[in-house]
Amino acid sequence: MFAFTLFVLFVFFILYKLLLIVPMREVNVIERLGKFRTVLQPGFHFLIPFFDRVAYKHEIREQVLDVPPQSCISKDNTQLEVDGLVYLKVMDGKLASYGIEDYRRAAVNLAQTTMRSEIGKLSLSQTFSERDSLNESIVREIDKASDPWGIKVLRYEIKNITPSRKVIHTLEKQMEAERSKRAEITLANAEKAAMINLSEGERQEAINLSEGEKQRRINEAKGTAQEIAIIARAKAEGMELVSAALAKEGGHEAMNMQLKEQFITQVGKILAEADVSVVPAELAKIEGFFEGMEQVTHAVSANSVKGAR
């Protein structure tokens, strides 16, 4: 019974060494008598017991390796602490097994040295603004060096770029000065715009006032011209009427009579309103005065007779 049990265990052991199932996520490197034989892909395989053995197992999915923080010096001699992530994938199981001892550790160390070299080519401000180009440069350099290892570096991502405390303090002062500068520039531009708007308003006001004064004078001149024209036309029409009246029979006598009446009326007004007694020179000649009055009376009578006829 004991011998049967040993036989059964021996059979299971042989089957365990004979049969191999490779998971979908990995590849197995097989050695026969200590020498590389083949790389088994995912699936079911047979081995020769005691001759073949699984020497290495490699993950064929994309792997993420953490790059520890390290001190770097930028182009402008600024000390930085940088860390990141490396994304890689095993492409050749044989090279990954025999090309290097530990491709993971080698990839991390290569990423650190490459990162220090690339950051040394950039200034502090460029390390923040050109992060994408920095990642591409690191991937290109790592992939070139890791080609004999049977791996493919897919991408590199910088997680944190941390300057020293002194540099951070200096950057804070610089940013504060920059904000103050922008605020002063904004205020100056606002004052400039306000002065420009004020001067434009005063200029437009002066133009409007001058235009208004100009239009007022033009209107007054036009009104004066029209007034003069109307008065002139009225005087001309009056003169024409007077001329026509004088041309008629008895016109001159009527004109003289009208003038004498106006003269007497105006003299009466002057004598009534003046503080000093004013006597016309003609009144000193009594005889001439009465003769004139007699002539006026005859003229009026003659006109009355003609009118009756």
Indicate the residue among 241, 274, 302 that finishes a domain. Answer: 241
CATH number at residue 131: 3.30.479.30
How far apart are the C-alpha atoms of 75 and 127, rounded to whole Å? 10
What per-residue confidence (pLDDT) applies to 293?
Answer: 53
- Residue-wise pLDDT for 174-197, tens only, equals 788 888 888 889 989 998 888 998
Question: Distance between CA 61 and CA 89 in Å, rounded?
Answer: 6
Do 15 and 78 reside in the same domain of the chain? no
* Residue finishing a domain among 41, 58, 75: 58
Residue 22: left if φ>0, alpha if ψ -120 to 50, beta else—which one?
Answer: beta
Confidence class for position 87, pLDDT limits 50, 70, 90: very high
- Residue 215, pLDDT > 80, answer yes
The distance of Cα 295 from the centroid of its chain, to the nearest Å, equals: 100
Reported residue count of the chain is 309
For residues 74 and 118, what is the distance between their CA atoms, to the nearest angstrom?
A: 9
Which of 69-73, 83-87, 111-115, 125-129 shows the lowest per-residue confidence on average (mean pLDDT)?
125-129
Looking at residue 164, its amino acid is: S
Residue position matching structure tokens 């007497």: 264
Q: Which domain holds residue 6?
A: 1-58
Domain boundary among 163, 189, 205: 163
142 is a domain residue: yes
In terms of average pLDDT, the best of 136-140, 187-191, 253-257 is 187-191
Confidence of residue 300 (pLDDT cuts 50, 70, 90): very low
Lowest mean pLDDT among 21-35, 54-68, 266-280: 266-280
Strands (E), the chain: 19-22, 26-32, 35-40, 43-46, 52-59, 63-73, 79-90, 151-163
Average pLDDT over all residues of the chain: 79
Please report whether residue 76 resides in a domain. yes
- List, for residues 27-48, the tens digit of each pLDDT value: 989 888 888 888 888 888 888 8
Q: How many domains does the chain have?
A: 3
